Structure 1
Protein backbone atom coordinates (compact mmCIF):
# COMPACT_ATOMS: atom_id res chain seq x y z
CA UNK A 1 0.00 0.00 0.00
CA UNK A 2 1.39 3.39 -0.94
CA UNK A 3 1.61 6.20 1.64
CA UNK A 4 -1.25 7.99 -0.15
CA UNK A 5 -3.43 4.86 0.00
CA UNK A 6 -2.57 4.38 3.66
CA UNK A 7 -3.56 7.97 4.43
CA UNK A 8 -6.81 7.57 2.46
CA UNK A 9 -7.57 4.42 4.43
CA UNK A 10 -6.87 6.19 7.74
CA UNK A 11 -9.08 9.17 6.81
CA UNK A 12 -11.93 6.81 5.93
CA UNK A 13 -11.57 4.77 9.11
CA UNK A 14 -11.45 7.87 11.31
CA UNK A 15 -14.58 9.30 9.68
CA UNK A 16 -16.44 6.01 9.58
CA UNK A 17 -15.72 4.98 13.16
CA UNK A 18 -16.68 8.44 14.44
CA UNK A 19 -20.09 8.23 12.76
CA UNK A 20 -20.77 4.47 12.73
CA UNK A 21 -22.92 4.41 15.92
CA UNK A 22 -25.22 7.15 14.58
CA UNK A 23 -25.34 5.52 11.16
CA UNK A 24 -26.16 2.13 12.70
CA UNK A 25 -28.91 3.68 14.84
CA UNK A 26 -30.30 5.36 11.71
CA UNK A 27 -30.36 2.05 9.82
CA UNK A 28 -31.95 0.25 12.79
CA UNK A 29 -34.83 2.72 12.65
CA UNK A 30 -35.38 1.93 8.97
CA UNK A 31 -34.85 -1.83 8.93
CA UNK A 32 -37.08 -3.77 11.32
CA UNK A 33 -34.93 -6.83 12.07
CA UNK A 34 -31.50 -6.50 13.73
CA UNK A 35 -29.95 -9.19 11.52
CA UNK A 36 -31.20 -7.41 8.40
CA UNK A 37 -29.89 -4.08 9.71
CA UNK A 38 -26.49 -5.70 10.29
CA UNK A 39 -26.48 -6.99 6.70
CA UNK A 40 -27.45 -3.57 5.38
CA UNK A 41 -24.72 -1.94 7.51
CA UNK A 42 -22.13 -4.27 6.00
CA UNK A 43 -23.20 -3.27 2.53
CA UNK A 44 -23.21 0.42 3.48
CA UNK A 45 -19.66 0.07 4.82
CA UNK A 46 -18.49 -1.44 1.54
CA UNK A 47 -20.23 1.20 -0.56
CA UNK A 48 -18.87 4.03 1.58
CA UNK A 49 -15.35 2.70 1.16
CA UNK A 50 -15.78 2.17 -2.59
CA UNK A 51 -17.16 5.69 -3.05
CA UNK A 52 -14.85 7.42 -0.57
CA UNK A 53 -12.92 9.02 -3.43
CA UNK A 54 -16.09 10.93 -4.36
CA UNK A 55 -16.37 12.35 -0.83
CA UNK A 56 -14.92 15.84 -0.65
CA UNK A 57 -12.31 16.13 2.08
CA UNK A 58 -13.54 18.51 4.76
CA UNK A 59 -17.18 17.77 3.83
CA UNK A 60 -19.87 16.49 6.18
CA UNK A 61 -19.13 12.75 6.30
CA UNK A 62 -22.21 11.97 8.39
CA UNK A 63 -24.62 13.60 5.94
CA UNK A 64 -22.91 11.88 3.05
CA UNK A 65 -23.00 8.51 4.83
CA UNK A 66 -26.68 8.96 5.73
CA UNK A 67 -27.43 9.62 2.05
CA UNK A 68 -25.62 6.45 1.03
CA UNK A 69 -27.42 4.56 3.79
CA UNK A 70 -30.77 5.78 2.55
CA UNK A 71 -30.11 4.42 -0.94
CA UNK A 72 -28.82 1.13 0.42
CA UNK A 73 -31.91 0.73 2.61
CA UNK A 74 -34.11 1.47 -0.41
CA UNK A 75 -32.16 -1.14 -2.43
CA UNK A 76 -32.68 -3.62 0.41
CA UNK A 77 -36.37 -2.73 0.42
CA UNK A 78 -36.67 -3.36 -3.33
CA UNK A 79 -34.92 -6.72 -2.92
CA UNK A 80 -37.37 -7.68 -0.16
CA UNK A 81 -40.41 -6.10 -1.83
CA UNK A 82 -42.50 -9.24 -1.70
CA UNK A 83 -42.04 -9.64 2.04
CA UNK A 84 -45.13 -8.49 3.90
CA UNK A 85 -43.05 -7.19 6.80
CA UNK A 86 -41.15 -4.63 4.71
CA UNK A 87 -42.25 -1.00 4.81
CA UNK A 88 -43.32 0.87 1.71
CA UNK A 89 -40.58 2.88 -0.04
CA UNK A 90 -42.36 6.19 0.70
CA UNK A 91 -42.52 5.32 4.39
CA UNK A 92 -38.81 4.43 4.45
CA UNK A 93 -37.97 7.71 2.69
CA UNK A 94 -40.04 9.71 5.18
CA UNK A 95 -38.52 7.94 8.17
CA UNK A 96 -35.02 8.40 6.72
CA UNK A 97 -35.59 12.14 6.27
CA UNK A 98 -37.01 12.55 9.77
CA UNK A 99 -34.28 10.53 11.46
CA UNK A 100 -31.54 12.34 9.55
CA UNK A 101 -33.01 15.65 10.72
CA UNK A 102 -33.26 14.38 14.31
CA UNK A 103 -29.76 12.88 14.36
CA UNK A 104 -27.89 15.92 15.77
CA UNK A 105 -30.18 16.00 18.81
CA UNK A 106 -29.99 12.23 19.19
CA UNK A 107 -26.19 12.47 19.11
CA UNK A 108 -26.31 15.08 21.88
CA UNK A 109 -28.55 12.77 23.89
CA UNK A 110 -26.14 9.85 23.40
CA UNK A 111 -23.23 12.03 24.53
CA UNK A 112 -25.21 13.18 27.58
CA UNK A 113 -26.08 9.56 28.40
CA UNK A 114 -22.39 8.61 28.25
CA UNK A 115 -21.52 11.42 30.67
CA UNK A 116 -24.39 10.53 32.97
CA UNK A 117 -23.41 6.85 32.94
CA UNK A 118 -19.92 7.83 34.09
CA UNK A 119 -21.51 9.34 37.21
CA UNK A 120 -23.10 5.98 38.13
CA UNK A 121 -20.93 3.85 40.45
CA UNK A 122 -19.04 1.15 38.52
CA UNK A 123 -20.89 -1.81 40.08
CA UNK A 124 -24.29 -0.29 39.32
CA UNK A 125 -23.17 0.75 35.82
CA UNK A 126 -22.12 -2.86 35.22
CA UNK A 127 -25.57 -4.12 36.24
CA UNK A 128 -27.25 -1.58 33.96
CA UNK A 129 -25.09 -2.61 31.03
CA UNK A 130 -25.69 -6.28 31.77
CA UNK A 131 -29.47 -5.76 31.90
CA UNK A 132 -29.48 -4.24 28.41
CA UNK A 133 -27.31 -6.78 26.62
CA UNK A 134 -29.20 -8.30 23.64
CA UNK A 135 -29.33 -11.84 25.04
CA UNK A 136 -29.70 -10.80 28.67
CA UNK A 137 -32.32 -12.39 30.91
CA UNK A 138 -33.48 -10.07 33.69
CA UNK A 139 -34.10 -13.00 36.02
CA UNK A 140 -30.42 -14.00 35.80
CA UNK A 141 -29.18 -10.42 36.18
CA UNK A 142 -31.46 -9.90 39.19
CA UNK A 143 -30.23 -13.11 40.80
CA UNK A 144 -26.61 -12.14 40.17
CA UNK A 145 -27.24 -8.77 41.80
CA UNK A 146 -28.69 -10.38 44.93
CA UNK A 147 -32.12 -8.85 44.35
CA UNK A 148 -35.48 -10.41 43.65
CA UNK A 149 -36.79 -9.93 40.13
CA UNK A 150 -39.37 -7.42 41.41
CA UNK A 151 -36.71 -5.60 43.42
CA UNK A 152 -34.40 -5.51 40.41
CA UNK A 153 -37.13 -4.05 38.22
CA UNK A 154 -37.76 -1.35 40.84
CA UNK A 155 -34.03 -0.58 40.99
CA UNK A 156 -33.85 -0.52 37.19
CA UNK A 157 -36.80 1.88 37.05
CA UNK A 158 -35.10 4.23 39.57
CA UNK A 159 -31.82 4.10 37.63
CA UNK A 160 -33.54 4.88 34.33
CA UNK A 161 -35.33 7.79 36.01
CA UNK A 162 -32.04 9.14 37.41
CA UNK A 163 -30.35 8.83 34.02
CA UNK A 164 -33.27 10.49 32.25
CA UNK A 165 -33.20 13.40 34.69
CA UNK A 166 -29.42 13.71 34.25
CA UNK A 167 -29.77 13.70 30.45
CA UNK A 168 -32.51 16.34 30.57
CA UNK A 169 -30.36 18.58 32.78
CA UNK A 170 -27.39 18.16 30.45
CA UNK A 171 -29.51 18.93 27.39
CA UNK A 172 -31.01 21.99 29.07
CA UNK A 173 -27.54 23.25 30.05
CA UNK A 174 -26.36 22.73 26.47
CA UNK A 175 -29.36 24.67 25.09
CA UNK A 176 -28.82 27.53 27.56
CA UNK A 177 -25.12 27.67 26.64
CA UNK A 178 -25.89 27.80 22.90
Structure 2
Protein backbone atom coordinates (compact mmCIF):
# COMPACT_ATOMS: atom_id res chain seq x y z
CA UNK A 1 0.00 0.00 0.00
CA UNK A 2 1.42 3.38 -1.02
CA UNK A 3 2.45 5.71 1.81
CA UNK A 4 2.08 9.48 1.62
CA UNK A 5 3.93 12.23 3.48
CA UNK A 6 4.17 16.00 3.21
CA UNK A 7 2.68 17.67 0.15
CA UNK A 8 1.78 14.29 -1.34
CA UNK A 9 -0.44 13.56 1.69
CA UNK A 10 -2.04 17.02 1.43
CA UNK A 11 -2.74 16.45 -2.29
CA UNK A 12 -4.22 13.04 -1.50
CA UNK A 13 -6.70 14.67 0.91
CA UNK A 14 -8.41 16.33 -2.05
CA UNK A 15 -9.78 13.03 -3.35
CA UNK A 16 -9.35 10.39 -0.62
CA UNK A 17 -9.70 9.77 3.08
CA UNK A 18 -6.21 9.15 4.47
CA UNK A 19 -5.25 7.12 7.51
CA UNK A 20 -2.27 7.56 9.88
CA UNK A 21 -2.99 4.32 11.76
CA UNK A 22 -4.99 5.92 14.58
CA UNK A 23 -7.08 8.61 12.91
CA UNK A 24 -8.70 9.34 9.56
CA UNK A 25 -8.45 12.66 7.72
CA UNK A 26 -10.48 14.11 4.87
CA UNK A 27 -10.96 17.44 3.13
CA UNK A 28 -14.40 19.08 3.29
CA UNK A 29 -14.66 21.10 0.04
CA UNK A 30 -17.81 22.98 1.07
CA UNK A 31 -16.27 24.37 4.26
CA UNK A 32 -12.66 24.40 2.97
CA UNK A 33 -11.56 22.58 6.15
CA UNK A 34 -9.78 19.39 7.10
CA UNK A 35 -11.83 16.97 9.19
CA UNK A 36 -10.68 14.04 11.28
CA UNK A 37 -12.19 11.04 13.01
CA UNK A 38 -10.55 8.58 15.39
CA UNK A 39 -10.71 4.92 14.40
CA UNK A 40 -11.08 3.57 17.96
CA UNK A 41 -13.26 4.70 19.59
CA UNK A 42 -15.20 5.59 16.47
CA UNK A 43 -15.88 9.32 16.58
CA UNK A 44 -17.96 11.43 14.21
CA UNK A 45 -16.08 13.66 11.78
CA UNK A 46 -14.85 16.87 13.44
CA UNK A 47 -13.30 20.05 12.03
CA UNK A 48 -9.66 20.47 12.99
CA UNK A 49 -6.98 23.09 12.45
CA UNK A 50 -3.75 21.32 11.56
CA UNK A 51 -0.37 22.93 11.00
CA UNK A 52 1.18 21.97 7.65
CA UNK A 53 4.19 20.44 9.46
CA UNK A 54 1.84 17.73 10.80
CA UNK A 55 1.69 16.14 7.33
CA UNK A 56 5.50 16.07 7.09
CA UNK A 57 5.93 14.33 10.45
CA UNK A 58 3.68 11.30 9.77
CA UNK A 59 3.05 8.67 7.12
CA UNK A 60 -0.44 8.20 5.70
CA UNK A 61 -2.14 5.55 3.57
CA UNK A 62 -5.49 5.53 1.77
CA UNK A 63 -8.29 4.48 4.10
CA UNK A 64 -10.02 1.24 3.11
CA UNK A 65 -13.44 0.42 4.56
CA UNK A 66 -13.33 -2.76 6.69
CA UNK A 67 -14.70 -5.90 5.09
CA UNK A 68 -18.27 -6.92 5.81
CA UNK A 69 -20.45 -9.92 4.97
CA UNK A 70 -21.49 -9.74 1.32
CA UNK A 71 -18.36 -7.93 0.09
CA UNK A 72 -16.51 -9.41 -2.87
CA UNK A 73 -12.78 -9.99 -2.35
CA UNK A 74 -9.79 -11.33 -4.24
CA UNK A 75 -8.12 -13.89 -1.98
CA UNK A 76 -6.09 -17.09 -1.90
CA UNK A 77 -2.82 -15.63 -3.21
CA UNK A 78 -4.89 -13.13 -5.24
CA UNK A 79 -6.17 -15.89 -7.55
CA UNK A 80 -9.84 -16.28 -6.56
CA UNK A 81 -12.71 -13.82 -6.52
CA UNK A 82 -15.19 -14.79 -3.81
CA UNK A 83 -17.83 -13.37 -1.52
CA UNK A 84 -17.41 -12.89 2.23
CA UNK A 85 -19.93 -15.05 4.12
CA UNK A 86 -18.68 -14.61 7.69
CA UNK A 87 -16.16 -12.55 9.67
CA UNK A 88 -13.99 -14.29 12.29
CA UNK A 89 -11.93 -12.03 14.51
CA UNK A 90 -10.07 -14.14 17.06
CA UNK A 91 -7.71 -11.88 18.98
CA UNK A 92 -5.16 -10.44 16.58
CA UNK A 93 -5.98 -13.02 13.88
CA UNK A 94 -8.61 -11.90 11.42
CA UNK A 95 -10.16 -14.39 9.03
CA UNK A 96 -13.08 -14.32 6.65
CA UNK A 97 -15.17 -17.25 5.52
CA UNK A 98 -15.88 -17.20 1.80
CA UNK A 99 -18.17 -18.88 -0.67
CA UNK A 100 -15.13 -20.39 -2.41
CA UNK A 101 -15.11 -24.17 -1.91
CA UNK A 102 -12.55 -26.91 -2.52
CA UNK A 103 -13.99 -30.45 -2.44
CA UNK A 104 -17.25 -29.08 -0.94
CA UNK A 105 -15.36 -27.41 1.94
CA UNK A 106 -15.75 -23.65 2.17
CA UNK A 107 -12.44 -21.87 2.59
CA UNK A 108 -11.32 -19.28 5.13
CA UNK A 109 -8.89 -16.53 4.16
CA UNK A 110 -6.61 -14.25 6.16
CA UNK A 111 -7.95 -10.68 5.96
CA UNK A 112 -4.43 -9.38 5.32
CA UNK A 113 -4.09 -11.70 2.32
CA UNK A 114 -7.03 -10.31 0.39
CA UNK A 115 -8.33 -7.09 -1.11
CA UNK A 116 -11.73 -5.83 -2.23
CA UNK A 117 -12.56 -6.91 -5.77
CA UNK A 118 -13.10 -4.34 -8.52
CA UNK A 119 -16.47 -4.04 -10.28
CA UNK A 120 -14.95 -5.68 -13.38
CA UNK A 121 -13.62 -8.63 -11.34
CA UNK A 122 -17.02 -9.09 -9.69
CA UNK A 123 -18.87 -9.02 -13.03
CA UNK A 124 -16.42 -11.53 -14.53
CA UNK A 125 -16.78 -13.89 -11.55
CA UNK A 126 -20.59 -13.71 -11.62
CA UNK A 127 -20.49 -14.54 -15.34
CA UNK A 128 -18.10 -17.45 -14.71
CA UNK A 129 -20.45 -18.84 -12.05
CA UNK A 130 -23.45 -18.70 -14.40
CA UNK A 131 -21.61 -20.93 -16.88
CA UNK A 132 -20.15 -23.17 -14.17
CA UNK A 133 -23.67 -23.99 -12.88
CA UNK A 134 -24.44 -25.79 -16.15
CA UNK A 135 -21.01 -27.43 -16.40
CA UNK A 136 -19.49 -25.12 -18.98
CA UNK A 137 -16.43 -22.92 -19.15
CA UNK A 138 -16.95 -19.18 -19.32
CA UNK A 139 -18.38 -17.98 -22.66
CA UNK A 140 -19.00 -21.57 -23.84
CA UNK A 141 -22.31 -21.62 -25.70
CA UNK A 142 -24.22 -24.39 -27.47
CA UNK A 143 -26.71 -24.49 -30.29
CA UNK A 144 -30.15 -23.72 -28.85
CA UNK A 145 -28.97 -21.39 -26.07
CA UNK A 146 -30.95 -18.18 -25.74
CA UNK A 147 -28.88 -15.03 -25.21
CA UNK A 148 -29.29 -11.27 -24.92
CA UNK A 149 -26.97 -8.58 -26.29
CA UNK A 150 -24.89 -6.80 -23.64
CA UNK A 151 -26.54 -3.48 -24.46
CA UNK A 152 -30.15 -4.73 -24.48
CA UNK A 153 -31.36 -7.37 -22.04
CA UNK A 154 -34.88 -7.32 -23.51
CA UNK A 155 -33.97 -8.89 -26.90
CA UNK A 156 -33.88 -12.69 -26.79
CA UNK A 157 -31.71 -14.25 -29.49
CA UNK A 158 -31.24 -17.92 -30.39
CA UNK A 159 -27.70 -19.27 -30.81
CA UNK A 160 -27.47 -21.18 -34.11
CA UNK A 161 -23.84 -22.24 -33.76
CA UNK A 162 -20.88 -21.78 -31.40
CA UNK A 163 -17.30 -21.74 -32.68
CA UNK A 164 -14.92 -22.46 -29.83
CA UNK A 165 -11.87 -21.68 -32.01
CA UNK A 166 -13.16 -18.15 -32.67
CA UNK A 167 -15.03 -17.93 -29.34
CA UNK A 168 -18.00 -16.67 -31.34
CA UNK A 169 -21.71 -17.39 -31.60
CA UNK A 170 -23.76 -17.29 -34.80
CA UNK A 171 -27.10 -15.55 -34.44
CA UNK A 172 -29.26 -14.83 -37.48
CA UNK A 173 -26.38 -15.72 -39.80
CA UNK A 174 -23.95 -13.25 -38.18
CA UNK A 175 -21.10 -14.13 -35.81
CA UNK A 176 -20.73 -12.25 -32.53
CA UNK A 177 -17.97 -12.45 -29.96
CA UNK A 178 -19.18 -14.78 -27.17
CA UNK A 179 -18.29 -12.21 -24.53
CA UNK A 180 -20.66 -9.69 -26.21
CA UNK A 181 -23.79 -11.66 -25.30
CA UNK A 182 -25.26 -12.75 -21.97
CA UNK A 183 -26.88 -16.13 -21.46
CA UNK A 184 -30.62 -15.91 -20.77
CA UNK A 185 -31.45 -19.65 -20.97
CA UNK A 186 -29.19 -22.60 -21.60
CA UNK A 187 -30.26 -25.38 -23.96
CA UNK A 188 -30.07 -27.89 -21.08
CA UNK A 189 -32.64 -25.99 -19.03
CA UNK A 190 -35.33 -25.90 -21.72
CA UNK A 191 -38.47 -27.94 -21.19
CA UNK A 192 -39.83 -29.57 -24.36
TM-score w.r.t. the length of structure 2 is 0.23
Q: Which one has the largest radius of gyration? A: 2
| Structure with the higher fraction of residues in strand conformation | 2
| Structure with the higher fraction of residues in helix conformation | 1
Larger RCO: Structure 1 or Structure 2 (Cα < 8 Å, ≥ 6 residues apart)? 1
